[in-house]
Structure 1
Amino acid sequence: MPDTHFEQQYLDLMRLIWFEGDERSDRTGVGTRSIFGATLRFDLSDGAMPLVTTKRVYWKTATRELLWFLTGNTNIRPLVLQGVKIWNEWPHARYVEQTGDDVELETFVQRIADDPDFAEQWGDLGPVYGKQWVDWPTYQPVKGGLFRKGRGINQIAEVVRSLREDPGSRRHIIEGWNVAEVPQMALPPCHKTYQYHVSTGIDGEPRLNGILYQRSCDVALGLPFNLWSGALLLRMFAQQAGMEPGEFVWMGGDTHLYLNHEDLVTEQLSREPQGLPRLEIVRRPPTIFDYRIEDFAVHDYTPHGPIKAPVAV
């Protein structure tokens, strides 16, 4: 494939980090090679999506996670019941630490699925992503210098409204980094800030562009999911606002590869991108909160095989 294939910039970023990144210790104890400040840009016209092809990316899993975020739910049980495993390690680690019961991950997850009461106690992640997106807390003063909780802010609904009513605004923003609640989160938000911008296409019609800023990015395991989800959310906003998708821009702060991902990096960099996957949204639901997994169809996705690597918790 020529260097103009959309995925080449992802592979170039991986290569840069692995061979020139700063080797650093990190929270997980695994160690990383890291650069600071990276940008990738993708044209989403004609159904194009930044779906990595040099390894299979389970886009339905990423989509189910995004739809879960939009519900505001912070318990892993709905994901577990759909076979989505990407959040299991964090509540499992908390359970083992707090109870001393060194139960295997698979056994813990099965109990989350089978026992709603156990899931309520041990399956919650704290006020992560979706909670901030659709129910950002507010507080109102009461007598005696105290405050009571007010009505939460639905940032997702506000962006849909502002895109429709004031497309030229510079305030189409979703923020996940709630400083007051970060200590309560199993994992503070990595993909933390989204901003949208409406431009005019050559046909005179509005195009929706978006930026995703990620404070911390695991390029090997996390970024392929983040690229898909960020572009998908843009496509959903565009459909709800009656616009065509434009450009999706991804920006990374601490952009890294884990040292124990050497086999993955070596294998993936030996592969050539293939094909140009496209997304079809087969239905326009009444609101952005009504999409279902069946509403999304991917065409022309013929990736290389999956590459497994350990998750750093």
Structure 2
Amino acid sequence: MYSYLDFERPISDLEAKIIELKKIVSDGESIDTTDEIRRLETRVDEAMNEIYAKLTPWQKAQVARHPQRPHFIDYAARLFTEVTLLAGDRNFGEDAAIQAGVARFRGRPVAFIGEEKGNDTKSRLKHNFGMPRPEGYRKAIRVMELAERFNLPVISLVDTAGAYPGVGAEERGQAEAIARSTQMCLRIGVPLITVVIGEGMSGGAIAIAAASRVYMLEHSIYSVISPEGAASILWRDSARAKEAATNMKITAQDLKGFGVVDEIIPEPVGGAHRHSETVIDACGDQIAEGLASMDGMSGEEIRNQRRQKFLAIGRNL
């Protein structure tokens, strides 16, 4: 059973009626509901297509944050084999908000970095709701250094509301860790592919997303700050997040136009959570295509191409 967003109420009402009719059949009632169920299913498809064809930026933000949207662990389970997770930053401790290690991607050895939010209360607390601390970024740096040493391409999957803003994180050098992780992304001489699979907010995202190829799912969002944070700063009112989302140009479609992202990966109508395996496979195909485009390139060529990519952002608007 799906959780419905506010703007999906027409879909929710129709699907509730379908469930009710199917229950009548399962209870052994002698009423033929086949035609009515078929008619309602057609109306669900029509309503879904109509609603998702004209989502606002704020509605896309809600889809990107949907609690049932597939998370990093779902992608890793389907895309990677022979996974070896690495823990700790060799400095302070472990940060479960960032999962990193080495694996095989379609038979090819790779390093991976992913932000994991968790999907229930216990796992969300364990992963700190996907908000990394400094040791998480230092772990990411450690994995990228390892990848360069062994000439492994790096795949990063972004899904965070931002880096953790707590006092302890600031005391342990949160800003410095984010800056150094971003610097490492730009410096490594191996392919780095990033996919924004949910929300990519602030330095919490860019620290592992300054990549050779940056892709976004159709209904994901990517920005220097969350809409709520922007509204609080600009208008002292987080309730104006909807207005902020519209003005900030946070959608994949806007960012593709600005040259911030390279490709948009389509989602099924209704969002990634409705057909997660289809979306994950599409991400895998796009990642494979990105890696293939850099096969045969030297480390210096990869670095220069990445540098030129970021220097060009915003220059040809």
Name whichever structure is richer in helix by fraction.
2
Compare CA radii of gyration and give the structure with the larger one. Answer: 2
> Which TM-score applies when normalising by structure 2?
0.27
Name whichever structure is richer in strand by fraction.
1
> Which TM-score applies when normalising by structure 1?
0.28
